[in-house]
Amino acid sequence: PVSVYKNEQEASVQIAARIAKIIRKKQKKGENAVLGLATGATPVIMYAELVRLHKEEGLSFKNVITFNLDEYYPMQPDSAQSYVYFMNEQLFNHVDIKKENIHIPDGTLKKEEIIDFCLNYEKKIEAAGGLDLQVLGIGRTGHIGFNEPGSAPNSGTRLVTLDDLTRRDASRDFGGKENVPTKAITMGIGTIFKAREIVLMAWSKKKAPIVRKAVEGEISGDVPATYLQLSEHVEFILDTSAASELT
Ligand code: F6R
């Protein structure tokens, strides 16, 4: 299904409320909530709202286990462009999540360590009980996570090469495209698909053409987000601008 909100603010508050509901429901049962998280500009307000719910409405993250979708490779965690840094700034530093419950692909691995790390990432998600909810943004290439065009529907966590457009879109954060890493470690399409619920969010006119393809286009590896059409547990959450090219 597709849900369209007046603006990014309203949509983000809604998604944060949905996450809070999962966390509280699990808490009551004495269970962990397992969340798949995204970075980038899209989820910033959602994280701010989760922090507000923690500070003002007593939402605890003590029973929350998180798995982030991706990280650039190579990448030092203390670098301002790292997704570790982003998550700490936007969410983790401001809530009561346990450090050991946070998982983000490791941008500091040696090449020969990557395959084992990726297999282990999948195992850790399974051992945690699987993802209750995966939140996604979408790149202008149609990527979800960093699953660029050509990604297989059953792909797992792995090292990938970033599309040129993705590196151009990231160039502002890095002060030039030449500084954007050429690779990343990302959960696969298959990993994302195993989540019990999937929410893809997109805001602004800039995303309207790719949102149209993702929601209405032919299902194809050329636009990896189209695979989501095959899931019965996905919701596309859009603002009016991002939804403006849907027919
Ligand atoms: C981030 C991620 C990416 C972004 C996408 C959109 O963890 O996996 O797929 O969601 O590139 O980025 P923004 O939100 O910056 O437009």
For a ligand 1 pocket test, name from 45, 68, 69, 168 the mutation site with the most ligand atoms within 8 angstroms of its C-beta: 69
Residues annotated catalytic, as ranges: 148
What residue owns the CA closest to ligand 1's atom 3? 145
The pLDDT tens digits for 175-232 are 999 999 999 999 999 999 999 999 999 999 999 999 999 999 999 999 999 999 999 9
76 located within any domain: yes
Query: Quick one: average pLDDT of 77-88?
Result: 98
Can you tell me the mean pLDDT for 69-96? Answer: 98
Ligand 1 centre distance from Cα of residue 190 (Å) = 18
20 inside domain = yes
Domain-embedded: residue 247: no
For residue 6, being part of any structural domain is answered with yes
* Assigned domain for 245 exists: no
Q: State how far the Cα of 33 lies from the Cα of 130, in Å rounded to an integer.
A: 9
Residues of the domain holding 87: 2-239
* Mean pLDDT value of segment 154-183: 97
- Give the pLDDT score at 172: 95
Query: What confidence category does residue 36 fall into, taking pLDDT thresholds of 50, 70 and 90?
Result: very high
Residue carrying the six token digits 């990448």: 75
Ligand 1 centroid from CA 30, angstroms: 32
| Ramachandran quadrant class, 222 (left: phi over 0; alpha: psi -120 to 50; beta: rest) | alpha
Residue with tokens 């605890």: 60
Please tell me the predicted confidence (pLDDT) of residue 132: 98
pLDDT tier at 154, thresholds 50, 70, 90: very high
How many domains does the chain contain in total? Answer: 1
Residue-level pLDDT at 65:
99
Looking at residue 139, its amino acid is G
Report the pLDDT averaged over residues 6-30.
98
Say if 246 falls within a structural domain.
no
**In angstroms, what is the span from residue 53 Cα to ligand 1's centroid?**
24
Instruction: Write down the pLDDT at residue 169.
Output: 96
Question: CATH number, domain at 135?
Answer: 3.40.50.1360
Residues in the chain: 247
User: Average per-residue pLDDT in the chain?
Assistant: 98
pTM of the predicted model, to two decimals? Answer: 0.98
Per-residue tokens: 127: 């051992």
Q: What is the ipTM of this complex?
A: 0.99
pLDDT in the model for residue 113:
98
Helices (H), the chain: 8-28, 44-57, 83-90, 114-127, 164-169, 171-174, 189-193, 208-216
